[in-house]
Structure 1
Amino acid sequence: MVKHVEPDQILVKMPSLRAVKSFVAAAKYQNFTRAAEALCVTQAAISRQIRELEASLGVSLFKRAGRAVELTEAGTIFYDAAYLSFVNIAQAAQRIQNSDKRKQELTICCSPAFSAFWLSARLPGFFAANPDIDVSVVTTNNFLKMEPGVHPDIFINKVSDPREGYHSIPLFYDLIYPVCSPLYLEQNPEIVDLDVLQNHTLLNLSPYGRSQIAEHVDWGVWFSSQGIDVDIGPGGERHVFNANDYNMLIQMVLNQQGVCLGWHQLVSPMIEQGWLIRIGEAEAVYREKSHYLTYSESRQDNEAFRTFKTWFLGCIADEQTSVVQLEANS
């Protein structure tokens, strides 16, 4: 038995879209002849469609003055709604027609430090090689709790498989050494001696900030890895500045305001460009603490994701080669 469907009152009462289209054109150009030219029809057709529309609505939509026409109050109200509706329909149709031509998109989530010091230095090369792929970057200090509506395709952080439906690939481990500006080292060459370095201004990443880079390392831990016991607590004698923003610490280093620990994958581009300089040969290596590329399994066959993954892992492989050489020489 066929179920009876009640008439849809909105659709039933809708005036003819062809008539509305003619009306919008006439109202836009304020001239029936120009409206006819714009729609590639005759003036008589425009006039007929508008008469039918006015009869359907029971009001006059135009005040006619020779060849020119002006909207009535009712015509203005109807034009405002009709024109906006046609614009929305036209734009939606255009998006559908161009759906196969649209750029591919990826959303990447990482820490502010990784975004500022790693991605920003390398993404221009990716864009140059892949102009058909758009990348959106979301930075956060809380990878386990995203804002509503944010569903990244890729995470770059220190948490393996942080949520259901994602898979993680290990990237690199932590290699950490002190860095300062070239001018600071020139003015304080004695800081290559760790016993002297510990008495200079130490810029320290506080626990909240460290959780996004290397939560187990601060100046106290780093000095301990070198066999030196240093008290950097509130009661300590040394001048230690704490902040949870690694970007801020690096900026302070660039401004000759002290020394901070450098995570190799973040500071190596600035060292290569001469903005920062490594202090001495001492370093701490934590092979058990990996960073991961975590991606949505629903995107693993996506062409844009595969392209980005190949490029990204290639960058990491090149950098790991330099890390191995760096460790071999130290």
Structure 2
Amino acid sequence: MTLRTDWLPALAAFEAAARHQNFAHAAEELHLTASAVSHHVRKLEAQLGVALFQRHARGVSLTIEGRRLADAASNAMADIDGVLLGLHGAREEQDRVRITTLHSLAYLWLVPRLPRFTAAHPGIRLDIDTESTLTRFDEGGPDLGIRYGLGHWPGLTALPLMDDALFPVASPSLAGLEEVHEAADIAKLPLISDHSYQGWQDWFRATGVRGARINERFSFSDTTDALMASVHGLGAVLARQQIATPYLANGSLVRLPGPSTPARFSYHVVYPAHRRLRPAARTFIDWVLEQPGQPD
């Protein structure tokens, strides 16, 4: 006997009734009446020529033949559910963009702008990884990254995003700030550094200050932590313009005397040169490349 498509409603009703051992509960699940479920089951029994349920005063119970069919129907429904979930998950994966970037840039530059992206593209999901190490773009890894450097990474396509500049900042409550009138005076303050490629020595040299005794009281591996230490009045920090802007805007940090010096590195959007970007990733790249020209 071959399964016919017109049997499917009856099989669905039977599978639910077998699982609940109750026609009324199966009807509630299927949004049918109990008599409709009973009709489907009797039709199936007539087509198969066997009794699938024993009817008695307390309800129904499966016969041996009914148990065999119930097990098979349950397994088949589970397989179909698994495929449907997989197909739905594959669709969701198409709309997911995995991004790797610096914690400081994500926290202070990217995240404040993301409401614009989600408003324009509500169906795209973002996974953002802020590991400090350079992530490998293996299969199953990130789709793209935002990196700070010279723009040359083997195997990666690099699109220029924005340049940066360095200048000193400090909390307006920092002790001794009232005595800072020119760049050379900053060396008298407790200084905070991070692990960037350009530090206080580079900045003082670029501004023409010679012989300054640099007192780096605190050093942090993460730029965000260095900025927060300065916000809390621990010292002056050499800030990157792109990530210091929120602190300057709310007044928790103020610029100190001295010029901005160009950063040696700049920000780039990168992705594997050999990999074809999915539409969602391309949409994010197109959007993020527009952001440096947008007001904060």
TM-score (norm 1): 0.67
Among 259, 278, 286, which residue is 1:282 paired with? 259
Gaps of 5+ in 2: 1-6
State the match for 2:4 in structure 1. Answer: none
Local SS of the residue matching 1:198: helix
State the match for 1:224 in structure 2. Answer: 205
Pairing of 1:71-150 with structure 2 (within 5 A):
78=71, 84-92=78-86, 99=91, 104-143=95-134, 145=136, 149-150=140-141
Among 162, 175, 178, which residue is 1:172 paired with? 162
CA drift of 1:294 comes to 1.6
TM-score (norm 2): 0.74
Aligned length: 281
Q: C-alpha distance in 1, partners of 2:31/2:88?
A: 18
Among 277, 282, 290, which residue is 1:314 paired with? 290
Give the RMSD, CA atoms, in angstroms.
4.1
Q: C-alpha distance in 2, partners of 1:245/1:184?
A: 21
Question: C-alpha deviations, 1:79-98, integer Å up to 9, x for none?
Answer: 986664454244346568xx
Contact 1:22 1:49 in 2 (8 A): no
Identity of matched residues, %: 24
Q: C-alpha distance in 2, partners of 1:149/1:102?
A: 11
Among 161, 183, 189, which residue is 1:194 paired with? 183
CA drift of 1:201 comes to 1.5
Pairing of 1:1-330 with structure 2 (within 5 A):
21-32=12-23, 35=26, 38=30, 42-47=37-42, 49=44, 65-66=56-57, 68-69=59-60, 78=71, 84-92=78-86, 99=91, 104-143=95-134, 145=136, 149-158=140-149, 160-164=151-155, 166-184=156-174, 188-206=177-195, 210=196, 215=197, 217-227=198-208, 228-230=210-212, 232=214, 238-286=215-263, 288-296=264-272, 298-299=275-276, 303-318=279-294
Q: C-alpha distance in 2, partners of 1:71/1:277?
A: 78
Gaps of 5+ in 1: 1-15, 233-237, 323-330
CA drift of 1:262 comes to 0.5
CA drift of 1:304 comes to 3.6
State the match for 1:13 in structure 2. Answer: none
Q: C-alpha distance in 1, partners of 2:189/2:138?
A: 40
Contact 1:299 1:305 in 2 (8 A): no
CA drift of 1:162 comes to 2.4
Question: C-alpha deviations, 1:285-330, integer Å up to 9, x for none?
Answer: 23x5332122345456x544444334322222357xx9xxxxxxxx
Letter in 2 for 1:255: H
CA drift of 1:105 comes to 2.9
CA drift of 1:222 comes to 1.8
Letter in 1 for 2:285: K
Q: C-alpha distance in 1, partners of 2:81/2:17?
A: 16
Contact 2:15 2:74 in 1 (8 A): no
